[in-house]
Structure 1
């Protein structure tokens, strides 16, 4: 037992917990920015701001490592994850404008479970019985959260928000698979720079129509969120480059605590009993599925 404990990498675990806490704060800032200018516009301008902030740091790090651009295979991974992350984030921020922040984070917790199914489809991995039973338990958690939210007259905006977050969770699962692969072939500064750059370029296609120039207050929120996002990405990239995903992915659940605090302080959002019950079922289902698959 002591030997097993000793093999748990402490610094990567701490880095992931801190990175996820910063991401929760960033989610709160982006929720405010999305309310002000819309989720699409907030993500586009954040991508532009983040790429501008990270460019000098990435160039400095590149020069210290001997210069040169990343290999074509690495660029392809950067582009793929950047596009996936951009779509995921727009849907998520669209959703949390219409639902409490803690509920949005709770629903995104099904992502590690979806990742098991993606691994089965994309990588040909065997889908274990524990993954199926864990899915049922996690689905029950989603139903409990939805039932608690819509126990009464249907709210069309809340329904759209819930649907957007669930689709975002599917993309987040793909993002988790790509995150480990990207961290193994690129440094934290490179990961943060290219994710912001690709997000900006991808969303730039519709920016003329969907991304009006923010006012001063919204700009301030976007700049803060870009700094938080870049810092979080570097912390997570550093950690995932030094520890296995199966050790770090379960730490995603710590984000619920910080999200609940941010939602309560910034938006006066109470955490309901249905949300707490739902998140417990989702976490239990995901842990059962992932641990069962590991065994």
Structure 2
């Protein structure tokens, strides 16, 4: 049963929790290597998903898969995305990393046209171009295109974040194909399992034994991330995706607050301007698709 208010609240809750998770990962980045962060985020998200399925009475059926190899490919791509994103988060100011991640839905539009043969009209292409102009505005100080220069470390962080966004967009393409035969719970669960296993490949490259406080934060990141994923998934049960999707951008306000009050990172006008352009383009695409969906539904319901 649809309940838009509940769907929106769940979406906002998931955005808040994902922001908390990202803040935890940024805070632990100086002490823990990226591969180890990926392990904690993935491994400790698994129990949350299992408890959720058990409470729903779907533990026996929710993890079944008809295409194990699809989960493996999606897991590899998603793990690369997660690793690059976590690494970039540790090198960039928190709001800036958040803004650059907004490039992911823009890239998804491009990849959908390339790999799914989706028709992309002039409007969407124009908005994608506008969104990438916003990305360039955010990037300009990191690539020394404007006044001032950026450290090599922060430039690397920007590139890693965008690489993570690109692989995240590819993962979305895989998911869009998989949902025809796979349950959402199975997609989430087997991704977490795959990421946990793949992260162990980095074990010989600098893993550390974190102190109790850092360990607690890393475990919390996994638990919070798992809960956020459940809230995100549940939001689409109560409201249409086109209605709740724009609330993703509430994370920008949360990121600015976290960056300022937690990490002492001032937000530049250039970053805000670029983020505003990216968000405007993304929201325009979402609203346009919602409008077209309503029109298609009206035509489908018109007697002929």
TM-score range, shorter chain: 0.7 to 0.9
- The 2-side partners of 1:8 and 1:70 are apart by 27
Q: Does 1:172 align with 2:168?
A: yes
Structure 1-normalised TM-score? 0.85
Secondary structure of 1:88's aligned partner: helix
Secondary structure of 1:214's aligned partner: coil
Change (3 A) 1:30 1:244: same
Structure 1 match to 2:296:
none
Q: Does 1:115 align with 2:115?
A: no
Structure 2 match to 1:268:
264
Change (3 A) 1:61 1:100: same
After TM superposition, the runs of 4+ consecutive aligned structure 1 residues lying more than 6 A away are: none
Per-residue displacement from partner, 1:226-285 (whole Å, max 9, x unpaired)? 111011011111223454433333221111111111122221111111111011111122
Q: How many residues align?
A: 286
- Could you say which structure has the higher helix fraction? 1
Structure 2 match to 1:46:
41
Q: Is the Cα–Cα contact under 8 Å of residues 39 and 94 in structure 1 kept in the other structure?
A: yes
Q: Is the Cα–Cα contact under 8 Å of residues 128 and 293 in structure 1 kept in the other structure?
A: no
Q: 1:207 aligns with which of 176, 188, 203?
A: 203
Structure 2 match to 1:127:
120
**Deviation for aligned residue 1:46:** 2.8
Structure 1 match to 2:299:
none
Structure 1 match to 2:54:
60
Q: Does 1:34 align with 2:29?
A: yes
Structure 2 match to 1:3:
none
Please tell me the root mean square deviation across aligned C-alpha atoms, in Å: 2.8
Change (3 A) 1:55 1:126: closer
Structure 2 match to 1:249:
245
The within-5 A match list for 1:5-20 is 9-20=4-15
Change (3 A) 1:220 1:243: same
- The 1-side partners of 2:7 and 2:174 are apart by 18
Secondary structure of 2:31's aligned partner: helix
Structure 2-normalised TM-score? 0.82
